[in-house]
Amino acid sequence: MSDTLQPIESTFPEFTSLAHQLNPTQVQQAMSLITPAQRIALLAHEHPDGDCLGSALGFAHILRQLGKTCVPVCADPAPRSFKFMPGIETLQNTLGDEQFDLVIALDAGELTRYGAIYKNHQAFLDQATILNIDHHISSSGCGQVNIIEPDAASTTELVTLFQQQTGLPLTKDAAICLLTGLITDTGSFQYPNTSPRTMIIGALLVQHGAVAEQIVKPIFRTQPLAQARFIAAAVNNAQSSLNGRLIWSYATKETLIAVGATPDMDDNASGMLRDLEGVQVAAFFKTYDDPNVTRVSLRSNEPYNVAAVCMRLGGGGHPRAAGATINKPLQAAISLVIAEIEREMQETDRQQGQ
Ligand SMILES: [Mn+2]
CATH number at residue 15: 3.90.1640.10
Q: How confident is the model at residue 6 (pLDDT cuts 50, 70, 90)?
A: low
Task: Describe the crossing of helices 196-207 and 155-166 by its angle, rounded to 10 degrees.
Answer: 60
* pLDDT at 330 exceeding the cut of 80: yes
Asked whether residue 152 falls in the same domain as residue 230, the answer is: no
Question: Number of structural domains, the chain?
Answer: 2
Cβ atoms of 103 and 128 closer than 8 Å: yes
Cβ atoms of 82 and 219 closer than 8 Å: yes
- Ligand 1 centroid, distance to 311 Cα (angstroms): 26
Given 203, 220, 237, the domain boundary residue is 220
Asked whether residue 108 falls in the same domain as residue 186, the answer is: yes
Given 173, 192, 220, the domain boundary residue is 220
Q: Is the peptide bond before 150 cis (omega within 30 degrees of 0)?
A: no
DSSP 328-354: S-HHHHHHHHHHHHHHHHHHHHHHTT-
- Ligand 1 centroid, distance to 98 Cα (angstroms): 26
Measured at the alpha carbon of residue 28, what is the angle toward residues 144 and 209, in degrees to the nearest 5?
105
Q: Give kind and range of the element (H or E) at residue 120.
A: helix 116-120
Asked whether residue 23 falls in the same domain as residue 121, the answer is: yes
Given 187, 220, 253, the domain boundary residue is 220
- What pLDDT score does 201 carry? 95
Q: Is 154 left (phi over 0), alpha (psi -120 to 50) or beta?
A: beta
CA dist 255 → 11, 119, 227, 294, 295 (Å): 53, 37, 11, 14, 15
- Ligand 1 centroid, distance to 241 Cα (angstroms): 36
- What pLDDT score does 1 carry? 42
- Ligand 1 centroid, distance to 100 Cα (angstroms): 24
Encoded amino acid at 161, one letter:
L
* Structural domain harbouring 252: 225-351
Asked whether residue 157 falls in the same domain as residue 52, the answer is: yes
- Ligand 1 centroid, distance to 52 Cα (angstroms): 6
Q: Please write the tens of the pLDDT for every residue from 55-97.
A: 999 999 999 999 999 999 999 999 989 999 999 999 999 999 9
Residue 298: φ, ψ to 5°: -115, 145
Cα dihedral 170/12/7/203 (nearest 10): 30
Asked whether residue 330 falls in the same domain as residue 259, the answer is: yes
Q: What percent of the chain has pLDDT over 90?
A: 87
- Ligand 1 centroid, distance to 155 Cα (angstroms): 5
Cβ atoms of 74 and 102 closer than 8 Å: no
CA dist 194 → 4, 130, 197 (Å): 26, 28, 8
Q: Please write the tens of the pLDDT for every residue from 203-245.
A: 999 999 999 999 999 999 999 999 999 999 999 999 999 999 9
* pLDDT at 3 exceeding the cut of 60: no
Asked whether residue 178 falls in the same domain as residue 250, the answer is: no
Q: How confident is the model at residue 146 (pLDDT cuts 50, 70, 90)?
A: very high
CA dist 206 → 235, 236, 266 (Å): 37, 40, 32
- Ligand 1 centroid, distance to 184 Cα (angstroms): 8
Asked whether residue 214 falls in the same domain as residue 244, the answer is: no
* pLDDT at 2 exceeding the cut of 50: no
- Ligand 1 centroid, distance to 353 Cα (angstroms): 38
* pLDDT at 181 exceeding the cut of 60: yes
Q: What percent of the chain has pLDDT over 70?
A: 95
Alpha-carbon distance 114 to 244, whole Å?
Answer: 42
- Ligand 1 centroid, distance to 199 Cα (angstroms): 16
Q: Please write the tens of the pLDDT for every residue from 16-64.
A: 789 899 999 999 999 999 999 999 999 999 989 999 999 999 999 999 9
Q: How confident is the model at residue 4 (pLDDT cuts 50, 70, 90)?
A: low
- Ligand 1 centroid, distance to 45 Cα (angstroms): 10
Asked whether residue 204 falls in the same domain as residue 186, the answer is: yes
Q: Give kind and range of the element (H or E) at residue 39.
A: strand 39-44
- What pLDDT score does 113 carry? 95
Alpha-carbon distance 284 to 67, whole Å?
Answer: 50
Helices (H), 208-329: 212-216, 225-236, 253-259, 269-274, 306-312
Q: How confident is the model at residue 160 (pLDDT cuts 50, 70, 90)?
A: very high
- What pLDDT score does 14 carry? 58
Encoded amino acid at 6, one letter:
Q
Nearest to 181 by CA among 198, 205, 160, 156: 156
- Ligand 1 centroid, distance to 21 Cα (angstroms): 18
* pLDDT at 5 exceeding the cut of 70: no
Asked whether residue 103 falls in the same domain as residue 168, the answer is: yes
- What pLDDT score does 38 carry? 98
Nearest to 223 by CA among 258, 176, 259: 259
Residue 49: φ, ψ to 5°: -120, -175
Looking up residue 339, the CATH number of its domain turns out to be 3.10.310.30
pTM of the model: 0.83
- Ligand 1 centroid, distance to 157 Cα (angstroms): 9
Q: Please write the tens of the pLDDT for every residue from 235-274.
A: 999 999 999 999 999 999 999 999 999 998 887 899 999 9
* pLDDT at 149 exceeding the cut of 60: yes
217 DSSP 8-state letter: I
Asked whether residue 216 falls in the same domain as residue 249, the answer is: no
Asked whether residue 173 falls in the same domain as residue 253, the answer is: no
- 3-state SS class at 18: helix
- Ligand 1 centroid, distance to 281 Cα (angstroms): 26
Residues with a beta carbon under 5 angstroms from ion ligand 1: 51, 107, 154-155, 185
Asked whether residue 213 falls in the same domain as residue 256, the answer is: no
Q: How confident is the model at residue 327 (pLDDT cuts 50, 70, 90)?
A: very high
Q: How confident is the model at residue 138 (pLDDT cuts 50, 70, 90)?
A: confident
